[in-house]
Amino acid sequence: MLDRMFLHGVEVRGRHGVFDFERRAGQLFVIDVDWWIDTGAAVASDRLEETLCYKQLYDRVCEVVGGQPWALIETLADRLIAALFARFPQVATLQVTVHKPEAPIGGSFADVGITRLRHRG
């Protein structure tokens, strides 16, 4: 049995984009992460060690988004998934959404982003 946990609205400055000015100045990215794990042992023991610490997940998201720049948000989402699967082996499935609210579109818009859903294996 798997349960869905989530951390939404993580705001991080990054230097991702296809234009030089995006990489130079950086911009805000908003990240949502949903993960599916078996929480049975954590429920039975009521111990943090039996589940995924969302503070550790938050820190890893910030490291990746604030780190190496990528041209595409598709690539950023993929690198986030790879980094989170590597750090948290108890996670069976991950869904990562990268929002780019300051995308250089040149007009008014509510949101732009990508959601990637991946299963371990």
Contacts of 13 (CB under 8 A, 6+ apart): 26, 27, 28, 29, 66
Q: Does residue 112 belong to any structural domain of this protein?
A: no
**Is 120 a member of any domain?**
no
Q: Where in the sequence is the domain holding 52, given as residue range(s)?
A: 3-107
117 within some domain: no
Q: What angle do CA 116, 41, 77 make, to 5 degrees?
A: 15
Residues forming the active site: 100
pTM score of the predicted model: 0.95
pLDDT digits (tens, 9 = 90+) for 55-78: 999 999 999 999 999 999 999 999
Question: Is residue 87 in a domain?
Answer: yes
CATH code where residue 89 lies: 3.30.1130.10
**Percent of the chain predicted with pLDDT > 70:** 100
> Is 113 a domain residue?
no
For residue 45, being part of any structural domain is answered with yes
Tell me if 19 is assigned to some domain: yes
